[in-house]
Chain A
Amino acid sequence: MGRPSAEERRRDYLDIGATIVSEFDGVGEGTAVDALANVRVSDVAERAGVTKGALYHVWPTQEAYRKDLFARLLEHSRQAGVRDLTDLLSDEELTSDPRRALHVHAEYVFQALKDDPTFFARFSFFLYANDPEVNELLTRGDDAVIAEFTPLVEAYLELQGRRIRAPFTVEMLLISMNALFHGLCLRYRTSPDLIDKPALDDPNGPNMYAFGIEALAQHFSEPIDGGNGSS
């Protein structure tokens, strides 16, 4: 156990930032723009027991630190979703019922992220979407969603005896699903009763998010043996 490497220290400092974000409870004078803006290099340094200079040695500015932290948070919440769906699709019981696997996954992801400030922090970054660096992060985030979820969605459709219907693409389907998720999470923050409930008020049915992505998957696909896939 020697002295931690520069990379290890960097990771540690980002972990501390993620912890501070997760502790954000919105209490303040309304001056904290968001959970991420609430993370100060000086607080991270204090928790790490180092000087601010040690952090500024790694990141030239507070903004640079926050961008790295943002990249890390994007990564984190995406991986939570992928792991879960991979597990579900390999579970024999659920493989025999892919619809249920999708519902369970959607419920899990929505419940896991709906109140998570580390997930919510991303929305403030959409406002900086014209900043080339932030744009690159958000674009790479979407690329990763597409790369990681494509095999899972294709596996789901195949278990249903379906495939993507031209001229739709799996990318369009994933972007639409992801957009619906983001939109529902935003609305949930102001009007939870409209969002966090079963669709059609059917207590045994899927939640709003699950119902929506199932509808999208159905509409963007068709039975492999031909026929009309749009109904």
Chain B
Amino acid sequence: MGRPTKDQRREDYLDIGAAIVAESRASGATDPGLALAHVKLADVAERAGVTKGALYHLWPSQEAYWNDLLHHLLSTNRLFGADRLATMSAELIAARGEPQTLREWANELFDTVRADPAFFARVSLFAYLDDESVRATLDREARDAIDGLQPVLAAAVADMGRRPRSNGALRDLAVQLAALLEGLSLKYRVDPERTPDLPASRGRRLTLFAAAADALLQAFTEPVGDETATARGSVMVAGVGAEV
């Protein structure tokens, strides 16, 4: 075990930065979206037990450090929380057949994402889109979420006695649901009262996201021809929130 190489030291200093980012998320810091900006070279040096000069030896500026830290976080996949859409979609599949599932799933998605510092950390990354590796990562993430969502939507739609209006309808629906979820979560962050729940119907909660998601779901699908299925569909659609 000799003296650590320059590369090892560099790695160590970036790991410390990643740890600071993770802590600011876990502590629910006031502005988790600014995760990178919270990481100051002076703090990294202090934790590493070295002088700031040692870090400035590796990075000419604070910005240069942030730039490397960003790529470090991306390559180690540490900036992103678990993919909420995929995880929660899996739960939906498991619970399939419960009449209120879609509404509850949408409620839970909204509750989770709007309070999730990782979501806001991701939005903060949009500021770095001129960096191709950032763009590619966010693009892949978006596509994975949308791909993961489609089978769930297909099953839910079939349960409702409905079917997609075209081949690409479920993909478009998944894209819109994700966009709506993110947009409403941003609104919520500015002022929770902007995105109020609808008055509970028979004690069942209905978030604005669930209600709006229902609007999109209905628009991208249509009742399967036969009347029994259509009637059944209207009952099941009520599970998402048509009936309020």
Q: Which residues of A contact B (CB under 8 A)?
A: 26-31, 33-34, 37, 120, 123-124, 126-130, 135, 138-139, 142, 167-168, 172, 175-176, 178-184, 186-187, 189-191, 194-195, 199-202, 208, 211-212, 214-216, 218-220, 230-231
| Most chain A CB inside 10 Å of its own CB: which residue of B67, B127, B180, B219 | B127
- In the complex, whether B195 has a CB less than 8 A from a CB of chain A is yes
Q: A167-B244, A183-B181, A194-B175 are in contact. Are A126 and B190 (CB under 8 A)?
A: yes
Q: Decide: B180 and A180 in contact? CB cutoff 8 A.
A: yes
Chain A residues closer than 8 Å to B70, beta-carbon distance: 30
Query: What is the distance, in angstroms, from B162's C-beta to the closest C-beta of chain A?
Result: 11
Expressed in whole angstroms, the Cα–Cα distance for A178 and B185 within the complex equals 12
Chain A residues closer than 8 Å to B165, beta-carbon distance: 200
Expressed in whole angstroms, the Cα–Cα distance for A189 and B142 within the complex equals 11
Chain A residues closer than 8 Å to B169, beta-carbon distance: 200
State which of B175, B182, B242 has its C-beta within 8 Å of the C-beta of A195: B175
- In the complex, whether B229 has a CB less than 8 A from a CB of chain A is no
Chain A residues closer than 8 Å to B211, beta-carbon distance: 168, 172, 219-220
Chain A residues closer than 8 Å to B196, beta-carbon distance: 172
Q: Decide: A183 and B183 in contact? CB cutoff 8 A.
A: yes
User: A189-B129, A190-B126, A194-B142 provided; 18 other pairs, C-beta below 8 A?
Assistant: A30-B131, A34-B127, A37-B127, A127-B33, A127-B124, A128-B34, A179-B184, A180-B179, A183-B180, A186-B183, A187-B182, A190-B129, A194-B143, A194-B171, A200-B166, A208-B172, A215-B220, A218-B219
Expressed in whole angstroms, the Cα–Cα distance for A33 and B128 within the complex equals 7
**Contact flags B196-226 to A (C-beta < 8 A → 1, else 0):** 1011000000001001101110111000000
Q: Decide: A208 and B130 in contact? CB cutoff 8 A.
A: no
A-B contact pairs, 5 of them (CB 8 A): A138-B191, A180-B176, A186-B182, A200-B172, A201-B172
Q: Decide: B130 and A231 in contact? CB cutoff 8 A.
A: no
Expressed in whole angstroms, the Cα–Cα distance for A30 and B182 within the complex equals 24
Q: Decide: A215 and B218 in contact? CB cutoff 8 A.
A: yes
Expressed in whole angstroms, the Cα–Cα distance for A14 and B111 within the complex equals 38
Query: What is the distance, in angstroms, from B118's C-beta to the closest C-beta of chain A?
Result: 13
Q: Which 8 A-B pairs have the closest CB atoms?
A: A183-B179, A179-B183, A219-B215, A26-B130, A127-B33, A215-B219, A183-B183, A31-B63
Chain A residues closer than 8 Å to B124, beta-carbon distance: 124, 127
Query: What is the distance, in angstroms, from B123's C-beta to the closest C-beta of chain A?
Result: 6
- In the complex, whether B167 has a CB less than 8 A from a CB of chain A is yes
Chain B residues closer than 8 Å to A129, beta-carbon distance: 189-190
Q: A130-B30, A187-B142, A189-B126 are in contact. Are A201 and B167 (CB under 8 A)?
A: yes
Expressed in whole angstroms, the Cα–Cα distance for A179 and B194 within the complex equals 11
Q: A34-B127, A182-B183 are in contact. Are A212 and B176 (CB under 8 A)?
A: yes
Chain A residues closer than 8 Å to B47, beta-carbon distance: none
Expressed in whole angstroms, the Cα–Cα distance for A208 and B129 within the complex equals 22
Chain A residues closer than 8 Å to B30, beta-carbon distance: 130
State which of A29, A178, A208 has its C-beta within 8 Å of the C-beta of B176: A208
Q: Decide: A29 and B63 in contact? CB cutoff 8 A.
A: yes
Q: Decide: A211 and B219 in contact? CB cutoff 8 A.
A: yes
**Contact flags B112-128 to A (C-beta < 8 A → 1, else 0):** 00000000100110111
Q: Decide: B175 and A219 in contact? CB cutoff 8 A.
A: no
- In the complex, whether B31 has a CB less than 8 A from a CB of chain A is yes
Q: Which residue of A lies closest to B142 (CB)?
A: A191
Q: Which residue of B lies closest to A199 (CB)?
A: B172
Q: Decide: A180 and B183 in contact? CB cutoff 8 A.
A: yes
Q: Decide: A186 and B120 in contact? CB cutoff 8 A.
A: no
- Which residues of chain B in 28-82 are interfacial with respect to chain A, using CB atoms and an 8 Å cutoff? 30-31, 33-34, 37, 63-64, 66-67, 70
Query: What is the distance, in angstroms, from B197's C-beta to the closest C-beta of chain A?
Result: 10
Q: Decide: A191 and B139 in contact? CB cutoff 8 A.
A: yes
Chain B residues closer than 8 Å to A215, beta-carbon distance: 215-216, 218-220
Q: Decide: A183 and B178 in contact? CB cutoff 8 A.
A: yes
Chain B residues closer than 8 Å to A200, beta-carbon distance: 165-166, 168-169, 172, 220
Query: What is the distance, in angstroms, from A115's C-beta to the closest C-beta of chain B?
Result: 12
Q: Which residue of A lies closest to B134 (CB)?
A: A30
Q: Decide: A123 and B123 in contact? CB cutoff 8 A.
A: yes
Q: Decide: A128 and B191 in contact? CB cutoff 8 A.
A: no
Expressed in whole angstroms, the Cα–Cα distance for A189 and B130 within the complex equals 10
Expressed in whole angstroms, the Cα–Cα distance for A211 and B208 within the complex equals 19
Q: Which residue of A lies closest to B137 (CB)?
A: A190
